[in-house]
């Protein structure tokens, strides 16, 4: 494929050479027209709100009425806000449990999809939980794991084990929510990883098989190293998404008991829409924004996302 391109390219460039300037300009307009819908969406729904969010973080604002500039007061308050630090700890715990379990399971599923089955039905069914709306998944598990009427606790009870207040106890709330979301997202993550695995040339595996390498050895020596750039991408996306957990908590524990599951996004929502502190909530969002940039940057650097071992 690449050989063909190198042969063809010079000829077409040579043909176009005389009309190059005009062509460029018309291509530019065409390109602009093509990206305009997405660009408009980006400007209106991402860039402008982000900039305005930064501005609001420096104000006191109740949404009704106009914002009052207060400088860095909100950020100073955040530094002394115990609920913020609790919610940060809670969120990080959530992300750790969610990402570790989700990534390990997704790689496992990816390998199975890649090496074991070619059945579209099986591959497709792994994606099923992801096709259900987040809120529905949350409510489904909320019900399954209910202390009194949930089937899981009924099973535990019949086995003679102690019932667990999955969503109600401050110890279990976050692990439960994290694992519910792992269940929903692992199929999708596995699909991304599987797509990455398909870019690894079959010839490498064939060569390894000829040399007598076991599946286990091939996984660690071929799949994992060659998958690294994809894995980084997947991790950056899933970690960022994981930090933004909201709906599952909002429809189940709503932050409780106490503040045991008050994740950052929920705290931001509470402050803004529950208590009308939009300036403070914006400042919290800015803090989350900075955290996410830092985490994504660190991941890219630490895992050398820009390089591939395949070249």
Residues that bind other proteins (CB under 8 A): 45, 62-65, 83, 142-143, 146-149, 163, 165, 167-170, 188, 191-192, 195-196, 199, 229-230, 233-234, 237, 240-241, 244, 252-253, 256-259, 262, 270, 273-276, 308, 310-311
The values of phi and psi at residue 54, to 5°, are: -60, -45
Q: Cβ of residue 47: shortest distance to other proteins, in angstroms?
A: 13
The values of phi and psi at residue 205, to 5°, are: -65, -40
The values of phi and psi at residue 59, to 5°, are: -130, 170
Closest CB to other proteins among residues 1, 210: 1
Closest CB to other proteins among residues 206, 309: 309
Tokens of residue 68, six digits? 């009052």
Residues 6+ apart with CB under 8 A from 6: none
- Nearest CA to 177 among 266, 97, 84, 288? 97
Q: Distance between CA atoms of 201 and 306, rounded to whole angstroms? A: 19
Q: Cβ of residue 9: shortest distance to other proteins, in angstroms?
A: 16
Tokens of residue 19, six digits? 């009309």
Q: Cβ of residue 224: shortest distance to other proteins, in angstroms?
A: 16
ω into 257 cis (within 30 of 0):
yes
Closest CB to other proteins among residues 234, 287: 234
CA distances from 67 to 64, 79, 136, 280 (A): 9, 22, 37, 11
Closest CB to other proteins among residues 6, 15: 6
254: left (phi over 0), alpha (psi -120 to 50) or beta: left
Closest CB to other proteins among residues 13, 237: 237
Q: Cβ of residue 201: shortest distance to other proteins, in angstroms?
A: 9
Closest CB to other proteins among residues 122, 127: 127
Q: Cβ of residue 149: shortest distance to other proteins, in angstroms?
A: 7
Q: Distance between CA atoms of 85 and 291, rounded to whole angstroms? A: 13
Q: Cβ of residue 163: shortest distance to other proteins, in angstroms?
A: 8
């Amino acid at each position: 494929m690449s050989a063909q391109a190198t042969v063809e390219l010079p000829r077409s460039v040579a043909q176009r050479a005389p009309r190059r300037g005009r062509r460029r300009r018309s291509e530019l307009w065409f390109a602009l027209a093509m990206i305009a819908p997405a660009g408009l969406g980006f400007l209106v729904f991402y860039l402008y709100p982000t900039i305005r969010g930064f501005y609001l973080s420096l104000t006191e604002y109740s949404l009704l009425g106009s914002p009052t500039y207060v400088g860095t007061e909100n950020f100073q308050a955040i530094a002394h806000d115990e609920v913020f630090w609790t919610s940060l700890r809670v969120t990080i715990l959530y992300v750790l449990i969610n990402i570790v379990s989700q990534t390990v399971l997704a790689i496992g599923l990816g390998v199975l999809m890649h090496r074991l089955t070619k059945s579209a039905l099986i591959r497709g069914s792994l994606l099923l939980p992801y096709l259900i709306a987040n809120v529905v998944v949350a409510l489904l598990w909320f019900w399954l794991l209910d202390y009194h009427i949930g089937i899981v606790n009924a099973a535990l009870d019949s086995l003679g084990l102690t019932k667990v207040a999955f969503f109600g106890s401050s110890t279990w709330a976050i692990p439960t929510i994290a694992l519910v979301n792992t269940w929903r997202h692992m199929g999708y993550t596995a699909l991304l990883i599987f797509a990455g695995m398909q870019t690894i040339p079959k010839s490498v595996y064939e060569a390894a098989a000829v040399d007598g390498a076991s599946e286990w050895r091939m996984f660690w020596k071929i799949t994992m190293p060659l998958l690294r750039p994809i894995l980084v991408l997947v991790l950056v996306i899933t970690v960022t998404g994981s930090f933004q957990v909201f709906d599952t908590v909002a429809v189940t524990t709503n932050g409780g008991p106490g503040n045991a599951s008050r994740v950052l996004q929920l705290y931001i929502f509470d402050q803004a829409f529950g208590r009308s502190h939009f300036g403070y909530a914006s400042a919290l969002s800015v803090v989350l924004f900075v955290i996410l940039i830092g985490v994504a940057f660190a991941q890219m650097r630490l895992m050398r996302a820009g390089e591939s071992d395949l070249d």
